[in-house]
Structure 1
């Protein structure tokens, strides 16, 4: 690869943006170092020494996105500093632990799904080559991250292995730009239970039910678009919700390659749809030779309508 050759000679200096997905604990270790430096000091030092732009997304979310932008050599320096910082935290935590073997450093990149095929390579050849040449473990998630067209790429190993692996990933991303528009992953706040009552949606916060105008609008929009409103009935805010309590069943088919978007990671999305719609939703097992999966929705007409709307929205 010509690009790889230029890179190995130290001449590759293209501006690139890499996104990292971090959990709260990990993010906080970036913001505040073990030596007790004030908040943000570690990131500030990384920005100055690497010359890369490093931003941590805001918001009350268990996950944050760390965006690293700059010439490739600045990105590699930033990644090296992050990987060594995480190793330092692991060593620090082990001093209070009976564990003897040091766990690997793990980073999760967020990569447009359209570029993941190039990272994996034909028959997995590229990802295998990366694992063997760097000593790092690399995994590309099968499902896209919620409400996005991006996937998580997990890299584990020693800081040195991770740095080499990130370099190879950058080369592949530069050689295979994203195809079409990318919908970036934006972490959501920790989900809270949702209930519907009297034409309103509420989220449960502690001991209180707080009105949620956005979910109420979504529910009303779903009802307006449904063919299930009983004929001759004047439509309330939730047509059929109180007037037609009789349960019925509706079936629809979904292509196999889209079922992951509906189920979500460990069933999070389908459980969310069940909770919001109030319907029972069963997804049939994949049939041999079939490219589709059958979904059975049971509930009142309003429940079914909302479930259908939410599934289509996914």
Structure 2
């Protein structure tokens, strides 16, 4: 099929398109279902980053189907998280697309005319980041609104991307593993990336859980819940003893779990070698009080 003269068909454009999306967390099962139901190719970047790039490729109607499933899944997650929270206003569903910077101009339009038109006709909020994502020529485009508004918005963005293909070579954004410092503010966790604080939903959940059970008692030791969190708190260290038969589930296969805990908490964690005749191992956690309490929380959660 010649894409040059492709007409807009009912339900979408009949050309293959690739849309990239930034997401947090692992949604393996969900993705499998989305692939089957939408008919789109959906790939998730590998790696130990909390941020994953989700690449959705297919005819536009398959892309729209995949997006509507993603938006509805996100809405379910929001509803689920609201059932036991005190928040009365429902936060919108938010998706972050990754778009080559060379296409962002067309998306914004002359004097912002195109993006304004998209906002007004779909009712979704659309924001194009001013800066490119680190080490790439791509920008984040954040869309938020109701699932329906988001789908309408994605449709319009697809049209723009098809009408003005990227110019020159695109250096794709690859998320970096998070060794980023973490701050907590207003009950939310943020990781610092460059000069921005990025909300971190997984850590926020942990933080809220930890706040609901203060002070959690890690393996027979009492420490207050999250201390007054302050990015400049001095480093301190904390020791735990963990029974040998539990150490395996904390370390994980080839150290995968312990690395995850190190990454999410930002703390350094050393596990001493087993000593003869002792049924437990010494674990030393070093970092700011915030990092330590988060690491303890994650270890206890294991």
Normalised TM-score (structure 1): 0.55
| Of 42, 62, 65, the match for 2:30 | 42
Deviation at 1:62, TM superposition (A): 1.9
Aligned ranges 1:272-283 → 2 under 5 Å: none
Deviation at 1:113, TM superposition (A): 0.2
The aligned residue for residue 148 of structure 1 is 136
Kindly provide the CA deviation profile for residues 237-270 of structure 1, in whole angstroms up to 9, marking residues without a partner as x: xxxxxxxxxxxxxxxxxxxxxxxxxx954399xx
Deviation at 1:23, TM superposition (A): 2.2
* Equivalent-residue separation in structure 1 for 2:24 and 2:43 (angstroms): 15
Indicate yes or no: 2:92 matched with 1:162.
no
Contact 2:12–2:60 under 8 Å retained in 1: no
The aligned residue for residue 63 of structure 1 is 51
- Aligned residues between the structures: 184
* Equivalent-residue separation in structure 2 for 1:173 and 1:61 (angstroms): 27
Question: What SS is found at the alignment partner of 1:98?
Answer: coil
Normalised TM-score (structure 2): 0.58
The aligned residue for residue 135 of structure 1 is 123
Indicate yes or no: 2:91 matched with 1:103.
yes
Could you say if the C-alpha distance between residues 93 and 182 of structure 1 is closer, same or farther in structure 2, counting changes exceeding 3 Å? same
Deviation at 1:127, TM superposition (A): 0.2
Kindly provide the CA deviation profile for residues 250-293 of structure 1, in whole angstroms up to 9, marking residues without a partner as x: xxxxxxxxxxxxx954399xxxxxxxxxxxxxxxxxxxxxxxxx
* Equivalent-residue separation in structure 2 for 1:111 and 1:11 (angstroms): 20
Contact 1:56–1:66 under 8 Å retained in 2: yes
* Equivalent-residue separation in structure 2 for 1:265 and 1:53 (angstroms): 34
Deviation at 1:191, TM superposition (A): 3.0
Deviation at 1:192, TM superposition (A): 6.5
- Structure 2 stretches lacking a partner, 5+ long: 182-192, 199-302
Across the aligned residues of Structure 1 and Structure 2, the Cα RMSD in angstroms comes to: 2.3
Aligned ranges 1:234-249 → 2 under 5 Å: none
* Equivalent-residue separation in structure 1 for 2:12 and 2:90 (angstroms): 35
Contact 1:143–1:265 under 8 Å retained in 2: no
Deviation at 1:6, TM superposition (A): 4.2
Deviation at 1:8, TM superposition (A): 6.3
Contact 1:62–1:190 under 8 Å retained in 2: yes
Kindly provide the CA deviation profile for residues 23-57 of structure 1, in whole angstroms up to 9, marking residues without a partner as x: 23xxx3xx1xxxxxxxx221111000000011111
* Equivalent-residue separation in structure 1 for 2:147 and 2:178 (angstroms): 30
Deviation at 1:61, TM superposition (A): 0.8
Question: What SS is found at the alignment partner of 1:139?
Answer: strand
* Equivalent-residue separation in structure 2 for 1:192 and 1:102 (angstroms): 29
Question: What SS is found at the alignment partner of 1:125?
Answer: helix
Structure 1 stretches of 4+ with a deviation exceeding 2 A read 5-11, 263-268
The aligned residue for residue 9 of structure 1 is 10
* Equivalent-residue separation in structure 1 for 2:12 and 2:50 (angstroms): 39
Indicate yes or no: 2:165 matched with 1:184.
no
Question: What SS is found at the alignment partner of 2:196?
Answer: helix
Contact 2:21–2:55 under 8 Å retained in 1: yes
Contact 1:136–1:156 under 8 Å retained in 2: yes
Deviation at 1:22, TM superposition (A): 1.1
Indicate yes or no: 2:8 matched with 1:20.
no
Question: What SS is found at the alignment partner of 1:182?
Answer: coil
- Structure 1 stretches lacking a partner, 5+ long: 32-39, 194-262, 269-314
The aligned residue for residue 234 of structure 1 is none
Kindly provide the CA deviation profile for residues 172-228 of structure 1, in whole angstroms up to 9, marking residues without a partner as x: 0000000100000001112379xxxxxxxxxxxxxxxxxxxxxxxxxxxxxxxxxxx
The aligned residue for residue 287 of structure 1 is none
